[in-house]
A and B are shown apart, each in its own frame.
Chain A
Amino acid sequence: MEVQNMKTATETYSKPIAFESQNIQPQVAPRGAEVLVRALIKNGVDTIFGLPGGAVLHIYDEIWRYRDQVTHYLVRHEQGAVHAAEGYAKATGKVGVALVTSGPGATNAVTGIADAFLDSVPLVVITGQVPSPLIGTDAFQEVDTFGITLPVVKHSYLVKDVNYLEAIVDEAFHLAQSGKPGPVVIDVPKDITAHLCENPKKLHEDFLFEEKEKNLDESTIEKICEKFLSAKQPIFYIGGGVVTADASAEMLQLAEKLQIPVTPTLMGLGGFPSAHDLCLGMLGMHGTYASNMAVAESDLLIAIGVRFDDRVTGKLATFAPNAEVIHIDIAASNIGKIRKPQIPLQADAKTALLAILKKLETYEFDSMTAKRGEWWHRINNWRNSVPLSCEYSENEIKPQQVIEELHRVTNGDAIVVTDVGQHQMWAAQFYPLKRSRQWLTSGGLGTMGFGLPAAMGAALGCPKDLVVAVVGDGGFQMTNQEIITAIQYKIPLKVIIMNNGYLGMVRQWQEMFYDRAYSEVDLSISPDFVKLAEAYGALGLRATKPGELREVLEAGLNNDKVAIIDVVVSKEENVFPIVPAGGNSRDMILK
């Protein structure tokens, strides 16, 4: 029956593009797959990452028909598709779209979906499903995708009627990017994509989810402004919410106006210019000494778009123990989750900052910087006493040095995409960022393998920018199959492998907290990454001595080719400073 349907649809629809161009309404209702693809196009999609399979054959048939309006990038593993969509979404601010088949296609996508959930990345992931009558029969390539993804999605659908398909896609795009963004999964059974959509329906209007546009409470804004004036040792603690809300301009304006120091989290990097005088550098486990000390000593902590993650706070009792907290976040569920704020404000960062800036115009605050001279004096002392640094060597390339050199070679303009581990922290510490969306990393889930495919997605989203993936030798080997995707589509993917022959971060913890018992972290048996790159048809380069570094980076970056740059770095370098997990930030280990 299903086959029959498909046949009718195909016969009637051999040239749908012609219909469009002649502006003739099709005589026969479109099949589900066409409805889906058109709905994607209607929602502004021109880029899809995916990998076909049995359950999504009809959809891929339509993707072929609409190939001049939407470009599909064939990845080599579904995890790569979702990470690429994430990279695309994070770099552009648009919704990323991934399309995978049922069963293993969907389960392979789960890691990426969870990553997007924890980092609030707007995604629409379309998964194929076995035909409706077979659901629940343990059919070939059947899994309960709806159930498996349930705890890691913002919302999900199992489409049961083709007539609702368009409405579902529309709502999915709305949900993915509204409020606190997140991934939305649409599970589409194969028969639905073959059914003819004769009577398109809207979702019940009661269901339509409206983010409550709350009027900001004037008195709260006033209280916040007064706190700004009265605080002696205030500090801004800003996170991914500032980046997501595109509020960095307002953030800069406010911080400059008030002369209050700013410390971004890992996710907030780029939300405030790193090289700015007011920026103390990253906060948390591998944050700067100045940031952690300033937060510990602060009397007013203004937290914007953050969730008081354990990697930031360490031991809660000693996190900003004497500070009053103002917490501004779009998600009510984040406010008071970990630390109860004195002044909570549920709003997106941009709305809140604009309201505060407006209110501040009515205040007199010229004398404030003078009042806080003592505070700045102490901050500068912390800054100068323990700056981020590394000991250079003549024989070995230091990993920090790679990032510094990368910064010089790229003039600080590259979009930096990282994987997860030591290199991620060094990149966070040593690459001063200029703007929002210049820093793409897997913060919440900490997904090794994120970097390479995400950089590919970012490069497609921002073709004018240089996108550089900084990855470790461990994470690189988790998703390096996507190099060939970059080759196939001529995406200028640049990958720098910080190769220390270890799962470095784990090794560091074993060194520091497990008596140097290096259990299962040795990656010295690895493929020759240069040869591997060449096997893929990419440019493979290697640097082993400090003297070669600059030249190799330039040779790899200053062209349009896919380049894999293997940088052999000192093997047992540690990321410092480090606050041991659950520790007091004052007890941070500096070297």
Chain B
Amino acid sequence: MGRHFFPPTTDHRPPTTEMRHTISILLANEAGELSRVVGLFSARGYNIETISVGKTILPNFSRCTIVTEGDEKTVDQIIKQCSRLARVREVKAVTTLPHIEREMGLVDVNAKTPTERQDILNIVDIFRAKVVDMSHDKMILEISGNKDKVDTMIELLKPFGVNETARTGCVAINRLSPFEPIENNRD
């Protein structure tokens, strides 16, 4: 196989209905409740791309944000079964409405020479990231934004030698207004 240039519009893969879904679930902050939710995915062989759980302003309730890939019908079914669980108060398919998604990543990257260090700082500046730790030959950067932004920055750092990354997974919340804002594209 030589190198061939395929125009980006040509996709030879079979058509698929699989798409990325972000689901936000408000559930009791009790032992085992998260297992119930996660079980609905694993029972179907669905991988959870990211999952993050945190307290909410309601005492005793946590919000769990799950990102998964799957066909719409099955995800819809998971959502319905999820809302049937006794300790689940609310399930939202965030992706169906304008929403804000954010995740945070910590990146351990090599920065051996002053030039490299300067280049990395430029990237940090452009992505509005932060340097949170530094040694003679390495830096740890903190980046937050939507998945694409975090992906892109890590991609740009790879030539320097990325040693490790840790990402929080996505949290999401619906927008106050129904408009898709420009800011979304900027991120």
Contacts and interface: CB of A to CB of B under 8 A. Distances in A.
Chain B associates with chain A = yes
Interface of A: 146-147, 150-151, 154-156, 158, 160, 175, 179-180, 204, 206-207, 209, 331-333, 336-337
B171 to A, nearest CB: 22
A155 B35 contact: no
Contacts of B43: 151
A207 B28 contact: yes
22 contacts: A146-B32, A147-B35, A150-B32, A154-B86, A155-B86, A155-B87, A156-B32, A175-B86, A179-B84, A180-B84, A206-B58, A206-B61, A206-B89, A207-B30, A207-B60, A207-B86, A209-B86, A209-B87, A332-B84, A333-B77, A333-B81, A337-B80
A337 B77 contact: yes
A209 B60 CA distance: 14
B36 interface: yes
B144 interface: no
Interface in B83-132: 83-87, 89
Contacts of A156: 32
B31 interface: yes
Given A158-B32, A337-B77, A150 B39 contact: yes
A165 to B, nearest CB: 16
A287 B108 CA distance: 65
Nearest to B30: A207
B50 to A, nearest CB: 22
A209 B33 CA distance: 14
Interface string B39-69: 1000100000000000000111100000000
A207 B60 CA distance: 9
A207 B87 contact: yes
A-B residue pairs, 10 tightest by C-beta: A333-B80, A155-B86, A209-B86, A333-B81, A332-B80, A204-B60, A151-B39, A207-B28, A333-B84, A150-B39
B81 to A, nearest CB: 5
Contacts of B83: 332-333
Nearest to B42: A151
B59 to A, nearest CB: 8
A337 B81 CA distance: 10
Given A207-B30, A333-B77, 5 more contacts: A150-B35, A206-B59, A206-B61, A207-B86, A333-B81
A332 B80 CA distance: 6
A438 B143 CA distance: 65
A373 B148 CA distance: 63
Contacts of B81: 333
A472 B31 CA distance: 43
Nearest to B87: A207
A332 B60 CA distance: 26
Nearest to A174: B86
Contacts of A147: 35
Nearest to B76: A336
Nearest to B77: A337
B31 A158 contact: yes
B84 A150 contact: no
A421 to B, nearest CB: 27
A195 to B, nearest CB: 19
Contacts of A337: 77, 80
A206 B60 contact: yes
Nearest to B28: A207
A333 B79 CA distance: 8
A558 to B, nearest CB: 46
Contacts of A175: 86
A180 B39 CA distance: 20
Contacts of A207: 28, 30, 60, 86-87
A378 B135 CA distance: 86
Contacts of B76: 336
A186 to B, nearest CB: 13
B37 to A, nearest CB: 11
Interface string B10-48: 000000000000000000101110011001000100000
A180 B84 CA distance: 9
Contacts of A146: 32
A453 to B, nearest CB: 28
Contacts of A206: 28, 58-61, 89
A150 B58 contact: no
A151 B43 CA distance: 8
